[in-house]
Structure formats: C-alpha cells, structure tokens
C-alpha cells in the first residue's frame, strides 16, 4: 500500500504499524516523534497503530549541534 512519509511516497506492506515504520527508517533507538495525518502518536501507542492506504506520516528526530 502507498503512504507518504516526510513528503515522499513510500510502499509498505498491509498491516505495517507506526513502530515498524520507525524501525524500518532506522530510528528505533533514536528520540523521535511520529505523527499520522497531523495527529501525534505517543510512543506507547506506536506498536498498536496500523497504517492505512494514503496515510501521511511525519517522523522527526532531534538534531544536536552548536
């Protein structure tokens, strides 16, 4: 199925959870926030939230610097 992740169309398998997507993006151990269709998904709810065709996902991480 097709979803949009950070502005890019992406194919993911049916039944993909937000947690699975975050892991696939290589951010499982990073401090990050995930939003689906402009609604923040708390960390504790990511595994149970299944993505659907056409969902728009934003995943952001903290970037340090100086």
Structure tokens at 16: 């993909």
What radius of gyration, in Å, describes the C-alpha atoms of the chain? 12
> What CATH number should be reported for the domain holding residue 23?
3.10.20.30
Please check whether residue 66 lies inside any domain of the structure: no
For residue 57, give the H/E element and its range: strand 56-61
What pLDDT was estimated at residue 63? 73
Quickly state the pLDDT bin for 3 (edges 50, 70, 90).
very high
On whether the CB atoms of residues 9 and 61 are closer than 8 A, the answer is: no
> What range does the domain containing 21 cover?
2-61
* C-alpha–C-alpha distance, residues 37 and 61, integer Å: 18
Count of domains forming the chain: 1
pLDDT tens per residue across span 6-47: 999 999 999 999 999 999 999 999 899 999 999 999 999 999
């Amino acid at each position: 199925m097709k979803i949009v992740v950070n502005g890019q169309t992406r194919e993911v398998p049916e039944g993909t959870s937000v947690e699975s997507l975050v892991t696939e993006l290589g951010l499982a151990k990073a401090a990050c926030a995930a939003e689906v269709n402009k609604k923040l998904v708390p960390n504790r709810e990511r595994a149970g939230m299944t993505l659907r065709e056409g969902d728009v996902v934003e995943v952001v991480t903290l970037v340090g610097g100086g």
